[in-house]
Amino acid sequence: MRKQYKFISKNENTTKDFAKKFAKLLNKNDVVVLTGELGSGKTKFVEGFLSNFGLENEISSPTFTIVNEYKNVNTTIYHFDVYRLEDSSEFHEIGGEEYFEKGICLIEWGELIEDALPKNYIHITFEKDDKDENIRILNIDLPDSFNINLLNKLEV
């Protein structure tokens, strides 16, 4: 049984703040898939996430590189954007799965390589709001092992 959590973000900064706090709840080999249309906030989420580790100033979009590495003394984070990959076999060819063992992996458009992903990944879906251009709905789908109380206690 997977678990669900919904977060409604009222603007870009709220998304970043939520992501920063969410980052504290993860372990070093977690994989997070970020799904949502262009401009739905996936990269903003990654920025906030990195800021928890003091890595926020270094973000560059991996649009042309597939994966960027961010590192401090304690933590390694890999930020993927797999939008341009054909399928999971192309992910395999670039050695994508090897990163799962090496640090936290945040994968924009990760649903495109679903069959290369470990079973217990965290899946965040970003939805835009019809009426307000600054609202995003984040639907978070988590493995059963995740302690959802920690999320319920987050104050954002």
Ligand X SMILES: Nc1ncnc2c1ncn2[C@@H]1O[C@H](COP(=O)(O)OP(=O)(O)OP(=O)(O)O)[C@@H](O)[C@H]1O
Main-chain dihedrals φ then ψ at residue 121, nearest 5 degrees: -75, 160
Cα–Cα distance between 147 and 156 in angstroms, integer? Answer: 18
One residue of 12, 97, 127, 141 binding ligand X per CB under 6 A:
12
Residue 8 or 150: the one with the smaller Cβ distance to ligand X is 8
Task: Indicate the pairing of strand 136-142 with strand 3-9.
Answer: antiparallel
139 lies in the site for ligand X, by CB under 6 A: no
Binder of Mg ion out of 9, 35, 43, 68 (CB under 5 A): 43
Does residue 35 touch ligand X according to CB under 6 A? no
Q: Residue 94 in contact with residue 72, Cβ under 8 Å?
A: no
Binding mask 67-96 for ligand X (x = CB under 6 A): ------------------------------
Q: Is 134 in the site for ligand X (CB under 6 A)?
A: yes
Question: Residue 79, interface with Mg ion (CB under 5 A)?
Answer: no
> For ligand X, how many residues bind (rule: CB under 6 A)?
17
Whole-angstrom Cα distance, residue 69 to residue 145?
Answer: 27
Q: Is 51 in the site for ligand X (CB under 6 A)?
A: no
Helix ranges (H only) for the chain are 12-23, 42-51, 88-93, 148-152
* Smaller CB separation from ligand X, 112 or 116: 112
Q: For residue 70, give both structure tokens.
A: 């961010």
Residue with tokens 């049984």: 1
The interface with Mg ion within residues 83-122 (CB under 5 A) comprises 108
